[in-house]
Structure 1
Amino acid sequence: MAHQGSDAPAARQTYIPAPARRAGEGYGPYPLMVIRGVTLIDGTGAPPTGPVDIVIENDRITDIVQAGWPGMPERLNRPPHGAVHEIDARGMYVMPGFVDAHVHAGGPGKAPEMEYAYKLWLAHGVTTVRGVSLAPHAIARSERDRSARGEIVAPRIYNYQTMGSGWNRGRIHDAAKAREWVRWGAANGIDGIKFFIRGDETPETVLAAIDEANKLGMGTVAHIAQPGVAQLNAEQLAEAGLGTITHFYGHFESLLAGREIQNYPVDYNFLDEQKRFGEAAEIWRQVDVGMPGWDEYLKTQVETGVAFDPTMTIYAASRDLMRARNAPWHDIYTLPTLKDYFQSTRDNHGSYFFDWTTQNEVSWRRFYDRFMHLVNDYKRAGGRVTIGSDSGFIWKLFGFGYIEEMELLQEAGFHPLEVVRAATMDGASVLAEPSGKPADFGIVRIGMSADLVIVPENPLANFKTLYGTGHERLSPENRIEKVGGVKWTITRGVAYDAEALLADVKAMVDEQKTARGQPVQP
């Protein structure tokens, strides 16, 4: 959604890195830990199987063993014996840890403590994030490395930065300078590049940076902003070797008949936030599902290998503002400063509901219909689709926005197993691919990293049970009961109690509310 990459001193002072992992935060890693009697959804698209025991040694899955037969008592006294820690997961489901392919870690003025976002992600099963960017480079690199060493409570972090971030050698105005910065970034802990295709990012500099990044094993992702899409659309960027197209920009512009630009009104101004986002959806009037060139575009994109990261959740408020604004988690888990940021204002990025009308929402619903068809057709054609949330803007909260994206992919036509695959195996492969090495996470398989999410409800039956606020259901006794939520999130062999993580988040919110004299939720 936004630029998050400034390395100015003021920016550095307002991001608060996560504290060191405290005693009692998480269990492990252990020489031997066993998850007992769980039903396995392995992330590849294979159907569930279970009950199984999953054996973890330190940070690796070392065995997966059938524990019995459905509907029958499990075998007693099963090996392995002598585990330091066991998780009784009978009746529960396990999946690979989720990959969020598009994140920012709060930031100045709204959620400066990075611990806040980390714990919300982990509480919703997210064990890997691609920061685009997570924070200014020096901070993001440090947080990535601290997470890898197990020093903080955080997901696995990929550090992507915008061109020019982190160095002091001036602005990038030509291809030579772009290549120089990419080489500098590769040598200084930058895993990939986030392009906006605007401002200094001319076609010349962007194409040079993509080429250099591919040579050096760095990833690339582009938000093809409206000021740049007339020069480089999604098809052109993928042909040049781009790794991921995030959001929706650039796809439909690749399909317009007889032109390359949507029908902007003559009073359009990109810096007018309501014009920018209100008009973005109006391109639906120029495209239709299955229009000439539709299938050819998707086939061409599949051949390039580019991934689609639709991030539908971050714009979902545009089609139903009241639902997003009144989501049940805001009162409990949204910081007052973040809620302030979400309020409509002319000088806050993404706070664009100046006078949001029924017609605005209808246009966004029409747009989503077409975009969802495009994303599902890309998957059906063999293209990879990942899950990114971009939360922290437009009434979307970290973790909660990720689960909504899973729901939106199901609405788009994905089978629930395909949604889980996008959230796990496909996300992991897209992040690992630039290095030339296969991902060692994203699948529950012997030899893989012990990144797992354990849930008490069948997620394939209802993704709503993954929300941290749970799911309401009427019991046989005619009482409303709350079920679901993630039970355990395991990252690199460390098991975190999701409820405890949410309690920590609530305490942070309550502290801010108390300082403001606002009532806290019980």
Structure 2
Amino acid sequence: MLRRLFAAAAIALATPSLAQPVMERVPQRPVGEGEGPFPTLLIRGATMIDGTGAPPEGPVDIVVEDNRIAQIVRGGGSDVTADRVIEADGMYILPGFIDTHGHNGDPAKAPQPSYGFKLWLAHGVTSVRGVGFGFGPNDRSIDQKNRSADNTITAPRLFAYTVPGAVGPLGAIDTPEKGREWVRWIKSAGYDGIKFFNNEPPHILGAILEEAEEQNLGTVAHLGQRGVAEVNAQTAVELGLDGVTHFYGHFESLIDDSRLPDYPPDYNYLDEQSRFAWVARLADQVGEPGSEKWNEYIELLIENGVTLSPTFNIYSAGRDVMRARNLEWHDKYTLPTLMQFYAPSLTNHGSYYHDWTSEDETAWRGFYRKWFDLTREFKDRGGRVTAGSDPGYIYQTWGFAYIAELEMLREAGLTPLEVIQAATINGARELYDAKGDEPPMGSIKVGKLADLVIVPENPLANLKVLYGTGHTRLNRETNELETVGGVRWTIKDGIVFDAPALLEDVAAMVEAQKAAQP
């Protein structure tokens, strides 16, 4: 029985959604859910954090015409006649956030994609790279991408990546020629890029990467352990990979005195407790930051223009599973089916804490220290870091997981302004560099798309004010607890979404599912 369960988990890891039922179709955006775009929208009196790394400035008035920023009036006092005015005095305005690592879920845990879409928007996320949003014949990535672009659904701006062979008429990609043909097919179908799970041998991976560059498609890889013997991060970068997500492949490129990891005799990749408990111990096989090998590796990443999307948050339960299980938003905003998926399981990917010990958590905390060091040093030398959340696994729920990622980027050593930069212009540039274009969003500039976030509290002082549940603090004058923060408005393509109302919609979904349970 155990062998069959591990085999099922292995299939899910190789091709995450191929055998699953169809997700529900996203409903049309109802009348009144989001207002605009307006001929003229005026946002008055906010303090602006423009996403480029520039310091805050305010008050400013921002004039939006249809879906573009038309004017930025520093000092305020704009005399523009507007169809809609948002009074943002004392508030903060930022570019819309970009999640560079998104998934839709699946029918077993979150069957309606609008659940995740609304949670993303409610946390200020206006663009998401799906890696992917679906696979196989049930993949609706392009349909959802197009409907979002038309603003006929309530969703962030969507960028669709797919896995070699997971879509299209060619089947398994087993030759370089077939790999090139497949790349051309996904380009014609409307995909924006390719996500690799390290299943391709180097000669096929290299051909796909080369053709992807020719077709202006982005590339990013989860360099899974089964492939690192042939392709670690160093090899993948040398073959032309644009971006590395998660931690996979980095430490395997940095092992001291060996080409391969030294697995314990009882290691079993198909047993996820074994797999993830051992991952943390890999840090013990790697030298210290500042060593010659570290310096050479980081320099290689920077010379090749690689982007890192670390997704720190998605593994954070490894260092404190009790905290992750009891996060304060689960009761109101996490679907019961999602909580069931998160629970320890032999078949659900990521539910690996079957007998998770204080030794495992201590090992993961040590692993994070080196992972943080690697990311910070890469950033300090000029490397680009972006913010991706990989939601729907390991107690990380859409939207909330993204803000948790921003907090962990801060913990890794990015300054608050650098965190916002990672969440905005860096993410936009990762999406558009492969296209050869300057991104149309990601910063607050005249002519850019009106993708914006308005927050009552200062996120540079406390990133916790971005959580949909807000930040609880003691009012020292009244000696009473108060909750502040939460995104007030998210503006995508000039359409103004009421973030608290989106959260109430999600809460209603959760209550409805609870009521329907036996």
The SS at the match of 1:229 is coil
CA contact (8 A) 2:102 2:388 kept: yes
The SS at the match of 2:384 is coil
Shift of 1:267: 1.5
CA contact (8 A) 2:13 2:349 kept: no
CA contact (8 A) 2:103 2:391 kept: yes
Q: Could you tell me how far apart the structure 1 residues matched to 2:152 and 2:229 are?
A: 45
Q: Could you tell me how far apart the structure 1 residues matched to 2:153 and 2:15 are?
A: 22
Q: Could you tell me how far apart the structure 1 residues matched to 2:42 and 2:464 are?
A: 28
Q: Could you tell me how far apart the structure 1 residues matched to 2:417 and 2:15 are?
A: 35
**Which residue of structure 1 lines up, in the alignment, with residue 319 of structure 2?**
319
**Which residue of structure 1 lines up, in the alignment, with residue 195 of structure 2?**
194
The SS at the match of 1:346 is coil
C-alpha distance after superposition, 1:144-195 (max 9, x if no partner): 0000011001000010000012223221111111111111111111111100
CA contact (8 A) 2:341 2:351 kept: yes
CA contact (8 A) 1:317 1:394 kept: yes
The SS at the match of 1:445 is coil
Q: Could you tell me how far apart the structure 1 residues matched to 2:173 and 2:429 are?
A: 31
**Which residue of structure 2 lines up, in the alignment, with residue 89 of structure 1?**
88
Amino acid at match of 2:170: R
Alignment of 1:423-462 (within 5 A): 423-462=423-462
Shift of 1:290: 1.9
Q: Could you tell me how far apart the structure 1 residues matched to 2:166 and 2:16 are?
A: 7
Return the TM-score normalized by structure 1. 0.94
Shift of 1:67: 3.2
Moved more, 161-170 or 95-104: 161-170
**1:270 is the counterpart of 2:269:** yes
Shift of 1:291: 2.6
Q: Could you tell me how far apart the structure 2 residues matched to 1:411 and 1:146 are?
A: 37
Given the superposition, is the C-alpha separation of residues 117 and 459 from structure 1 closer, same or farther in structure 2, using an over 3 Å criterion? same
Q: Could you tell me how far apart the structure 2 residues matched to 1:111 and 1:404 are?
A: 20
Moved more, 252-261 or 458-467: 252-261
**1:52 is the counterpart of 2:60:** yes
Moved more, 237-246 or 382-391: 237-246
**Which residue of structure 2 lines up, in the alignment, with residue 507 of structure 1?**
508
Alignment of 1:10-409 (within 5 A): 11=20, 13-68=21-76, 75=77, 78-81=78-81, 83-136=82-135, 138-198=139-199, 201-287=200-286, 288-409=288-409
Amino acid at match of 1:97: G
C-alpha distance after superposition, 1:284-321 (max 9, x if no partner): 11122223311121111101001001000000000010
Q: Could you tell me how far apart the structure 2 residues matched to 1:343 and 1:260 are?
A: 36
Q: Could you tell me how far apart the structure 2 residues matched to 1:60 and 1:117 are?
A: 26
CA contact (8 A) 1:4 1:134 kept: no
Structure 2 unaligned segments of length 5 or more: list them. Answer: 1-8
Shift of 1:5: 6.1
Shift of 1:268: 1.1
Q: Could you tell me how far apart the structure 1 residues matched to 2:96 and 2:318 are?
A: 29
CA contact (8 A) 2:170 2:178 kept: no
**Which residue of structure 2 lines up, in the alignment, with residue 484 of structure 1?**
485
Amino acid at match of 1:120: L
Given the superposition, is the C-alpha separation of residues 147 and 4 from structure 1 closer, same or farther in structure 2, using an over 3 Å criterion? farther
Q: Could you tell me how far apart the structure 1 residues matched to 2:321 and 2:68 are?
A: 43
Amino acid at match of 2:219: T
Structure 1 unaligned segments of length 5 or more: list them. Answer: 69-74, 518-522
Shift of 1:243: 1.0
Q: Could you tell me how far apart the structure 2 residues matched to 1:59 and 1:170 are?
A: 40
C-alpha distance after superposition, 1:332-368 (max 9, x if no partner): 0000000110010111110001100001000000000
The SS at the match of 2:134 is coil
Moved more, 59-68 or 121-130: 59-68
Given the superposition, is the C-alpha separation of residues 158 and 5 from structure 1 closer, same or farther in structure 2, using an over 3 Å criterion? farther
The SS at the match of 1:338 is helix
Amino acid at match of 1:246: T
Shift of 1:89: 0.5
Shift of 1:237: 1.1
Moved more, 378-387 or 184-193: 184-193
CA contact (8 A) 2:14 2:197 kept: no
Amino acid at match of 1:407: E
Shift of 1:266: 1.4
Shift of 1:260: 2.1
C-alpha distance after superposition, 1:437-456 (max 9, x if no partner): 11000000000000001000
Return the TM-score normalized by structure 2. 0.95
**Which residue of structure 2 lines up, in the alignment, with residue 520 of structure 1?**
none
CA contact (8 A) 2:17 2:106 kept: no
Given the superposition, is the C-alpha separation of residues 6 and 377 from structure 1 closer, same or farther in structure 2, using an over 3 Å criterion? closer
Given the superposition, is the C-alpha separation of residues 7 and 238 from structure 1 closer, same or farther in structure 2, using an over 3 Å criterion? same
C-alpha distance after superposition, 1:217-273 (max 9, x if no partner): 001000000011111111121122111100001111111123122221112111111
The SS at the match of 1:228 is coil
CA contact (8 A) 2:49 2:92 kept: yes
CA contact (8 A) 1:7 1:165 kept: no
Q: Could you tell me how far apart the structure 2 residues matched to 1:6 and 1:479 are?
A: 47
**Which residue of structure 2 lines up, in the alignment, with residue 72 of structure 1?**
none
Q: Could you tell me how far apart the structure 2 residues matched to 1:217 and 1:22 are?
A: 35
Q: Could you tell me how far apart the structure 1 residues matched to 2:348 and 2:60 are?
A: 50
C-alpha distance after superposition, 1:60-94 (max 9, x if no partner): 001000235xxxxxx4xx3112x110101000001
RMSD of equivalent CA atoms: 1.4
Moved more, 19-28 or 279-288: 279-288
Q: Could you tell me how far apart the structure 2 residues matched to 1:118 and 1:208 are?
A: 34
The SS at the match of 1:220 is strand
Q: Could you tell me how far apart the structure 2 residues matched to 1:7 and 1:100 are?
A: 21
Shift of 1:6: 6.8
Amino acid at match of 1:371: W
Amino acid at match of 2:176: A
C-alpha distance after superposition, 1:371-424 (max 9, x if no partner): 001001000000000000001000000000100111001111110000000000
The SS at the match of 2:249 is coil
Q: Could you tell me how far apart the structure 2 residues matched to 1:5 and 1:490 are?
A: 34
Q: Could you tell me how far apart the structure 2 residues matched to 1:95 and 1:170 are?
A: 43
* Count of aligned pairs: 504
Q: Could you tell me how far apart the structure 2 residues matched to 1:330 and 1:294 are?
A: 39
CA contact (8 A) 1:4 1:133 kept: no
Q: Could you tell me how far apart the structure 1 residues matched to 2:243 and 2:498 are?
A: 33
Q: Could you tell me how far apart the structure 1 residues matched to 2:275 and 2:374 are?
A: 22
